[in-house]
Amino acid sequence: MPLALLALAVGAFGIGTTEFVMMGLLPDVADDLGISIPSAGHLVSAYALGVVVGAPLLAAVTARMSRRTVLIGLMVLFVAGNALSAFAPGNGSLLAARFLSGLPHGAFFGVGAVVATGLVAPERKARSVSLMFLGLTVANVVGVPAATLMGQHLGWRATFLAVSAIGLAAILALALLIPHDHDRAPAQGLRGELAALRSLPVWLALGTTVAGFGALFAAYSYIAPMLTDGAGYADTSVTALLALFGVGATIGNLLGGRLADHAMRATLFGGLASLALVLALFPLLMSTPWSAALAVLLLGTAAFVTGSPLQLIVMEKASAAPSLASSANQAAFNLANAGGAWIGGLALAAGFGATSPALAGAALAVLGLGVAGVALAVDRRATPRGTGRERLVAGHLPREVEAVRS
């Protein structure tokens, strides 16, 4: 694997750290700024809103720029947003800075995935995407706990200065390691990128992302009360268990990338089915401390097995102009975050019990399987009979067919 993937992973590590660290710093920020915890919680929403807005917008605006330049520019914006967060004098300015920090998130992963797949042989595309996402999953294991600890001892502003330094390291790595082959501007431009979004298979792939990762966030958003009320863990143990989720996500991410290079559709369907099963078993698994820890690990593994194939399927359905569709998939991840948390909250508010958000998540995972099944049926109907060999040579058949043929 080329070293350029390390540069993308460093950027992903910084983005993953700044996205999730605010959850651990909410009490410190609220005390320092003199606001309530719920008001400080809007800082999480502001970042997510920035991702949803920035992913398609920045991908569209930069459609005529070279992807190497775009990646460096996005990390410059990331550094600026985090530096402004560190020096924000009040809640309003911090909200604006968090929104600015979120703007480059989706476009970085979207454009980065296109660059990553262009750096490797066709049979390693999913693995290259998983290695870029590795920075995001490792951030949950190492970056977020370390940054939270720093914020608690040195002040929350020091955390955002540290994240800015990670962003500067990513800029340097991108400038040095991304090949100059990616200095050329894409030929299709904005019109071609927008045309790719008119494809039904692209929207079905995006719908699968929303449902599949909505399943994860329906449960993960309420994992703390499940662990304390259901499994009997102390509040102080939750942070270590969340790091265990990050370990599972890292395993699932690497496993999904490797499997998807051999059978992309099978990996997606298997991951969604596994996620539905794990979530359906949550009421049983949350009954003892050891099984609850296993549930957290399995949740991260099953959910992130689907990450690379989902990203790659969107890119392949928009193969003529993948940057905007790839970035839109990152917006879909964040819509899944918000929508899944809302649906899980409805189950909890209805009085169905502490583990009811997981059962709602299982239903969403089954919905994701249904949408993926519809997408597969549309693909098969759109494939002309008798032209399999020509379409295989042209690279239009799924990668698993290529693997069988070879």
* Residue type (1 letter), 297: L
Task: Compute the distance between CA of residue 262 and CA of residue 272 in angstroms, rounded to an integer.
Answer: 17
Give Cβ neighbours of residue 51 (< 8 Å, ≥ 6 apart). Answer: 102, 103, 105, 106, 330, 331, 334
Q: What is the CATH number of the domain that holds 93?
A: 1.20.1250.20
What is residue 360's predicted lDDT score, i.e. its pLDDT? 93
Q: Is pLDDT above 50 for 379?
A: yes
Mean pLDDT, residues 181-190 taken together: 60
DSSP string, 36-56: -HHHHHHHHHHHHHHHHHHHH
- Assess whether 181 and 243 both reside in one domain: no
Q: Is pLDDT above 80 for 383?
A: no
Task: Compute the distance between CA of residue 272 and CA of residue 302 in angstroms, rounded to an integer.
Answer: 7
Last residue of a domain, one of 186, 204, 225: 186
Name the residue with higher pLDDT: 56 or 85.
Answer: 85
Residue 388 banded pLDDT, cuts 50, 70, 90: very low
Mean pLDDT, residues 384-392 taken together: 44
Q: Is pLDDT above 60 for 211?
A: yes
Q: Choose among 291, 290, 292, 283: nearest CA to 227.
A: 292
What is residue 386's predicted lDDT score, i.e. its pLDDT? 47
Residue 166 banded pLDDT, cuts 50, 70, 90: very high
Task: Compute the distance between CA of residue 381 and CA of residue 103 in angstroms, rounded to an integer.
Answer: 38
Mean pLDDT, residues 202-229 taken together: 87
Q: Which element (helix H / strand E) includes 11?
A: helix 4-33
Write b or e for each residue in 164-182: b if 16 or more Cβ atoms lie within 10 A of its Cβ, otherwise e: bebbebbbebbeebbeeeb
What is residue 61's predicted lDDT score, i.e. its pLDDT? 84
What are the C-alpha distances in Å from 384 to residues 234, 362, 399? 59, 35, 17
Contact 282, 355 (CB under 8 A): yes
Task: Compute the distance between CA of residue 164 and CA of residue 158 in angstroms, rounded to an integer.
Answer: 10
- Under DSSP, the state recorded for 124 is G
What is residue 173's predicted lDDT score, i.e. its pLDDT? 93
Q: Choose among 201, 171, 405: nearest CA to 314.
A: 201
Q: Is pLDDT above 80 for 228?
A: yes
* Residue type (1 letter), 323: S
- Assess whether 182 and 196 both reside in one domain: no
What is residue 110's predicted lDDT score, i.e. its pLDDT? 87
Give Cβ neighbours of residue 381 (< 8 Å, ≥ 6 apart). Answer: none
- Assess whether 61 and 209 both reside in one domain: no
Q: What is the pLDDT of residues 324-358, one digit of tens each?
A: 778 888 888 888 887 888 888 888 888 888 888 99
- Assess whether 69 and 135 both reside in one domain: yes
First to last CA, the chain: 22
| Global pTM value | 0.78
- Assess whether 243 and 222 both reside in one domain: yes
- Assess whether 267 and 177 both reside in one domain: no
- Assess whether 182 and 206 both reside in one domain: no
What is residue 402's predicted lDDT score, i.e. its pLDDT? 45
Q: Is pLDDT above 60 for 394?
A: no
Contact 320, 269 (CB under 8 A): no
What is residue 97's predicted lDDT score, i.e. its pLDDT? 95
Give Cβ neighbours of residue 264 (< 8 Å, ≥ 6 apart). Answer: 126, 309, 312, 313, 398, 399, 400
Tally of CB atoms within 10 A around 380: 8
Give Cβ neighbours of residue 346 (< 8 Å, ≥ 6 apart). Answer: 360
Last residue of a domain, one of 186, 217, 247: 186
Last residue of a domain, one of 142, 170, 186: 186
What is residue 375's predicted lDDT score, i.e. its pLDDT? 87
- Assess whether 223 and 177 both reside in one domain: no
Q: Choose among 236, 244, 158, 184: nearest CA to 64.
A: 184
Name the residue with higher pLDDT: 394 or 143.
Answer: 143
φ/ψ (deg, to 5) at 356: -65, -30
- Assess whether 197 and 142 both reside in one domain: no
- Assess whether 158 and 88 both reside in one domain: yes
Residue 189 banded pLDDT, cuts 50, 70, 90: low
Task: Give the chain's domain count.
Answer: 2
Spacing of C-alpha 277 from chain mean position: 21
Q: CA angle at residue 315 from 178 to 388, to 5 degrees?
A: 120
Q: Is pLDDT above 50 for 165?
A: yes
What is residue 67's predicted lDDT score, i.e. its pLDDT? 84
What is residue 182's predicted lDDT score, i.e. its pLDDT? 56
Question: Dmax of the chain from CA atoms?
Answer: 69
Q: What is the pLDDT of residues 267-306, one digit of tens each?
A: 999 999 999 999 999 999 998 999 999 999 999 999 999 9
What are the C-alpha distances in Å from 40 to residues 29, 36, 158, 225, 351? 7, 6, 18, 20, 26
- Assess whether 281 and 202 both reside in one domain: yes
- Assess whether 291 and 215 both reside in one domain: yes
Q: Is pLDDT above 80 for 384?
A: no
Q: Which domain holds residue 391?
A: 192-406
What is residue 9's predicted lDDT score, i.e. its pLDDT? 92
* Residue type (1 letter), 30: A
* 24-33, 49-58, 202-211: segment of lowest average pLDDT: 24-33
